[in-house]
Structure formats: C-alpha cells, structure tokens
Structure 1
Amino acid sequence: MDLDLARKILAEQPFSRLLGARLTAFGDGEATLEVDIRPELLQQYGFVHGGVVSYAADNTLTLAAGTVVGPGLITSGFTIDYLRPATGEVLRAHAEVVRAGRTRVVCRCDVSTVSVDGDETLCAVAQGNIAVIESKG
C-alpha cells in the first residue's frame, strides 16, 4: 500500500473527514497523522477531547500496520495513556510497527501537540493490536 491509497482510505472514513485528519507520512512501518486543533474538538477545560486523541492513536496504529501488510486491517484493541493535557495548534500522532505477523500486527504510537512555534509536546502514548481481515492477494 502506498501513500496515495492510504490517503484515499482515510478520506473514505466520514469521521476522519469530520475531524479534518490528514496523513503526512506513510511507509516503512511508520505513519503520521495530523489534526488541526480547533474549538469544536476541545472539552470543557479547553484541552483536546480524549476521544480525539484516541482517534488519532487508533487510526495511526492501523495506518502504520498497513505499511507492512497492506489494506484490509482493523484495530482489534489498543491501550492509551494520557500523559498531559493536549493543547496547541496541531495534534500529531506517529506510529510504528513493533512486530508484524500473518494475522496480527503490534504497533505503538506517540501522540503530541505542536505549538504555533513548532514545539512538540508528548501528550499520550498508545499500543495496539491490529487484525488482518483480508490477505494481500
């Protein structure tokens, strides 16, 4: 699977379109997804809602898996630890494959925020188990 196909798959997800998610890097066991932080994605304290942070981790874990096993994947489970409130201009999730098997791919993901000055702050870490639901060919 290449970057263009991965972007097409992301664009087919209504929720990803709603959030304005964009795939900025894809290949060699890694993927990076970004979402611009805007008021409607915040919770009552002014931080990015945990559901948005989880979405970013979930999709990026699966996208990273897709770099090594192709499309036809679905998240079978993941854990996330929120380290600090997410504030800034951009939410950035970067995932990498830990181990790719025939039916499961284990990945880990760092979710950071990017300030207007370009400084990154780690706000969550996640690990996921991605199920292969379709074979490559």
Structure 2
Amino acid sequence: MNEQESPEVQARIRSSFERQGLMRHLGARLADIAPGRVSITLAARSEVTQQHDYVHAGATSAIADCAGGYAALTLFDQDSEVLTVEYKINLLEPAAGDHIEAVGTVLKRGRTLTVCLLEVYGLQAGGERKLVANGQQTLIRVDRPAG
C-alpha cells in the first residue's frame, strides 16, 4: 500500500471535506477516494434544483470543482493544499436523476500545477448512469497555512 492509499490520506481528505461549508450546505457527500481520483455525490433535492427540476448548474459545477481538487490533493503530502486556478465545464445534458456524481481524475500532476478531468453523471434509481457534464481544471499546490 503506498502513501496515497493510506488511512492517513483518506482521513485528511475526509476531514478537509467536512470543513467545506458549501458542500455541507448543498448536502454533498464524499463517495470515493483513490489515488488521483475522487467522487462526490449530491441528491437531487429541491434545494439544489433550478426551475425545471434539474440539478442547478452551480451545484453541478461546485461538486465537480471540489472532486477535482480532492483528486489532486490525494497525490500531495500532508503539508500541501490545492487551490483552483481555473476550470471550464461543459453542460452536456440537463442534470437529471435521483443523484448526480462528480468524478475528478488527475490527468497530469506537476510540482506546482496539476490538471484534472471533471465528469458529472446523472444517476437514476435503477442504476442508469448518464454523463451530464465534463470539464477540465487546473489547480495550484500551496503550502498548508500554519495553525
């Protein structure tokens, strides 16, 4: 087992996620943590939908951004944090389903900049999974603030 798969890295990612006020406000849940890959789910409740009952693009992009950031963070040491420098998301279909799932996957890890693939799927109760958004993100590694 390498460091990225360690219980310490899992705990660090979970602890950081729990401090995310927006994720808590949206009701998002950390679903899976693997080296260079993180997924986050969000139930399609009325509080996160738009006027046509699809999950709002803002909620869709927020969990995609977060999934990519945590995917990158799995590859850095405990003294590191990441911040989004930029991201672009394409909304391919209305975000329909009982839940949506954002998957962030590291495409290229650098010492300073890391690039991630972002994918968001609509999930139906019967298990059907449909790609509703995709994008790309650039993150910068920064030192964890003291304190």
Structure 1 counterpart of 2:60: 53
Q: Distance in 2 between matches of 1:2 and 1:89?
A: 30
Structure 2 counterpart of 1:64: 71
Alignment: residue pair count = 135
- Residue 2 of structure 1 aligns to a residue whose secondary structure is helix
Equivalent AA in structure 2 for residue 100 of structure 1:
R
Equivalent AA in structure 1 for residue 15 of structure 2:
K
Which structure is larger by alpha-carbon Rg, 1 or 2?
2
How far off is 1:8 after superposition?
A: 1.0
Q: Is the 8 A contact 2:37 2:104 kept in 1?
A: yes
Q: CA RMSD in A?
A: 1.2
**1:106 and 2:107 correspond:** no
Question: Normalising by structure 2, what TM-score?
Answer: 0.87
Q: Which runs of 4+ in 1 moved over 3 A?
A: none
Which structure 1 residue ranges, 5 or more long, are not aligned?
A: none
Equivalent AA in structure 2 for residue 7 of structure 1:
R
**1:25 and 2:18 correspond:** no
Equivalent AA in structure 2 for residue 22 of structure 1:
R
How far off is 1:34 after superposition?
A: 0.7
Structure 2 counterpart of 1:39: 46
**1:6 and 2:13 correspond:** yes
Q: Is the 8 A contact 1:2 1:27 kept in 2?
A: no
Give the percent of matched residue pairs that are identical in Structure 1 and Structure 2. Answer: 30
Q: Is the 8 A contact 2:41 2:101 kept in 1?
A: yes
Select 1:86's aligned residue among 84, 95, 103.
95
How far off is 1:77 after superposition?
A: 0.5
Q: Distance in 2 between matches of 1:37 and 1:124?
A: 15
Equivalent AA in structure 1 for residue 19 of structure 2:
E
